[in-house]
Each structure stands twice: as C-alpha cells, then as structure tokens.
C-alpha cells in the first residue's frame, strides 16, 4: 500500500493540479483492483516485490502522467517538414557564412586564436539557432498552424523542373558578393594573395578606379536579384529579367574595361625593369583572357536563360 501511494504521489507531481485528485483517485482504484485480482489468483497477499512488479508493469510515473497532458508533442507531423526544412537551410547558411569568414580570416593573415574563435562561435551559434527555430515552431504548432496550412497558394510555388540556379548557388553568390563589396569599398584587405619568393606588389590599374561606382552598382544589383530569387522563386519573368539585365550591364562595363588594355600595376623594388615588364605583360595577358571569358560567359548565361524560358513556354503550350 505504501508503495502504491508513493507511486501515485510521483504520478501526481506531473499532473495538472486541477485534475490531479480526480485522476489519482481513478488510478488508485485501478491499482487496488489489480492487486485484489492478483491476490485472488495467488491465494495470498502480495509481497512488496509483487507490488513492485505490478507498478513496473503499470509504467513509469512520468509516462503515465504524460498521457493526460493536452500537449503530447512539441512539433507535430504537419509542422515537422517545415521545421526540418528551416533547420536544414538555416544551419546550411550558417555553415557557408562561417566557412567564408574562416577563409577571410586566413586570407587576412589572422592568428590561430582568431580562427579557433570562429570555430567555437559556430558551435554555439548553431545550438542557439536550433533552439530559437524549435521554440518558434513549437509556438507555431500551438497557435498559428491552422491558418498557415490552409491558406497557402499553389500559384506561389516555384515552376516545375530544376531551376537554372539552386538556392545553394544563390546563397553562395550572395556571400561572395558581400565579401567583394566590403573589399571593393576598402572595408577589408587581403594579404599574401601572391606568395612570390620576391617582393612583388600587384595593384589594380587606374581603369578600375574609373569604373568603381558602376562595378559597385553591379555587385549590389546581384545581391538584390539573389534576394528576390530566393524569396520569390515563382517570379520567373522578374528573376530572368533581373539576371539578363544584370549580365547586359556587366557586359557593358567589362566591354569598356576590356578596351583599357592595362589592368594591373606590378611593382618590385628589387626586380630588374625588363623582368618586371615581362611579369606586367603576363599579368595583363591573364587579365585580358579572364575579362574576355567573363564577357563570353555572361552572354552565354543570358542566352541560356532566354532559351529556358522559351522551352518552358513551349512545353506549357504543348500541355
């Protein structure tokens, strides 16, 4: 009897106070009836061990009490896919951002302590992010899911087939653009990009300063277009127009830059002028090829996007 009362008290600690008396009364009756039934079948009173076995069969007090709770799960099966997708994307973006920061820290020649700091930050950030998202979805499960699950619009789903750019590509592009803008505006500086055995400085030529602001506008345009493509993938025409416009604009800028014929300034206090001239020529040749490939690549991408739209419309018309 003592064990049964102790068991019931343990169950009661996890029950809502309002219903506790009622539930415990009913459970007591069930346990005593079961005890009587077992005593009748054995033909003797139950020992302490018998009662312990009976209570073990009945279940852990926390589990027994939990069955009376109104809330049986934090995030139910309907909301779970949304939670999982959000967690995957958030942790994925966090990983990309931190890998980028780590790469920047290495390029900027930061100390090992700084790099270790980035590593330990990502763990605490990931745990924090996981907790915040889970709490938000638990609240959503309780208070907001009904309307959300009912009010979604099929017209807002992205078009079928694999898009020209995946979300990972868009996020990667955005991160790279942000770093570029920071560097372009002089907020961060890279060191030791050219690990030559001699003192050699390589700087951008004057043509880039002349096109500084148009190039900044291009990078900001790219970030804005990626944000729209991520948030509204179903806006196919807008996204294609943003992409095509951006590439045409990029081709126009690079076309002008290409005509300069001289893109980097190579200097060295110790190299002979004729050696330096050869290096300068090779760097400029590399830049010429690089800019030419970039222009061709942009034109190719624009053509590809328009071909995709043409093909998609053709397929839609056929259906």
Partner 1 sequence: MTHSMPTEGDIYETLRLELRRGSLILAVLGHLKREHYGYTLRKALADAGVEIDEGALYPMLRRLEAQGLLTSEWREEEKRNKRFYRLSDEGRAVLGRLAAEWASLNASIGDILKGEA
Say how far residue 23 (Cα) sits from the centre of its chain: 46
The reply to whether 27 sits near partner 1 by the rule CB under 8 A is: yes
CA distance 167 to 164: 10
Return the range that interacts with partner 1 (CB under 8 A); candidates 56-64, 81-89, 159-167, 220-228. Answer: 56-64
Q: How far is the CB of 58 from partner 1 (least distance, A)?
A: 7
Instruction: Indicate the residue among 19 and 278 with the shorter CB distance to partner 1.
Output: 19
The reply to whether 30 sits near partner 1 by the rule CB under 8 A is: yes
CB neighbours of 229 closer than 8 A, spacing ≥ 6? 165, 170, 239, 242, 243
Q: How far is the CB of 30 from partner 1 (least distance, A)?
A: 5
In the region spanning residues 58 to 117, those forming contacts with partner 1, defined by CB under 8 A, are 58-59, 63-64, 67-68
CA distance 227 to 171: 9
The reply to whether 54 sits near partner 1 by the rule CB under 8 A is: no
Which one of residues 3, 10, 12, 34 is an interface residue with partner 1 (CB under 8 A)?
34
Q: How far is the CB of 61 from partner 1 (least distance, A)?
A: 11
CB neighbours of 160 closer than 8 A, spacing ≥ 6? none
Say how far residue 1 (Cα) sits from the centre of its chain: 56
The reply to whether 162 sits near partner 1 by the rule CB under 8 A is: no
CA distance 34 to 184: 79
Q: How far is the CB of 67 from partner 1 (least distance, A)?
A: 5
Residue 39 half-sphere exposure toward CB, CA atoms < 13 A: 12
Give me the residues that bind partner 1 (CB under 8 A), please.
19, 22-23, 25-27, 29-30, 32-34, 58-59, 63-64, 67-68
């Amino acid at each position: 009897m003592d064990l049964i009362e102790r068991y019931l008290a343990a169950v009661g600690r996890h029950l809502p106070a309002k219903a506790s008396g009622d539930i415990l009364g009913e459970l007591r009756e069930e346990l005593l009836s079961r005890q009587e039934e077992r005593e009748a079948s054995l033909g003797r009173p139950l020992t302490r061990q018998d009662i312990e076995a009976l209570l073990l069969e009945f279940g852990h007090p926390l589990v027994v009490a939990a069955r009376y709770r109104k809330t049986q799960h934090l995030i139910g099966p309907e909301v779970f896919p949304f939670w999982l997708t959000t967690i995957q994307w958030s942790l994925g973006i966090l990983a990309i951002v931190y890998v980028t920061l780590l790469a920047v820290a290495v390029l900027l020649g930061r100390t090992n302590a700084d790099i270790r700091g980035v590593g330990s930050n990502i763990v605490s950030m990931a745990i924090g992010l996981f907790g915040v998202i889970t709490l938000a979805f638990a609240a959503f499960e309780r208070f907001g899911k009904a309307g959300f699950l009912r009010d979604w619009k099929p017209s807002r789903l992205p078009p079928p087939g694999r898009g020209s750019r995946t979300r990972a590509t868009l996020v990667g592009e955005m991160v790279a653009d942000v770093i570029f803008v920071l560097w372009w505006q002089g907020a961060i500086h890279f060191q030791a990009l050219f690990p030559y055995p001699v003192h050699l400085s390589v700087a951008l030529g004057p043509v880039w300063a002349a096109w500084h602001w148009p190039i900044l506008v291009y990078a900001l345009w790219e970030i804005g277009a990626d944000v729209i493509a991520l948030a509204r993938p179903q806006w196919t025409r807008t996204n294609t127009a943003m992409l095509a416009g951006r590439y045409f604009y990029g081709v126009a800028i690079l076309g002008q830059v290409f005509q300069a014929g001289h893109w980097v300034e190579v200097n060295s206090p110790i190299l002979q002028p004729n050696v330096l001239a050869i290096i300068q020529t090779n760097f400029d040749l590399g830049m010429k090829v690089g800019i030419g490939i970039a222009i061709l690549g942009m034109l190719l991408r624009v053509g590809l996007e328009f071909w995709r739209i043409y093909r998609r419309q053709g397929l839609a018309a056929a259906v």
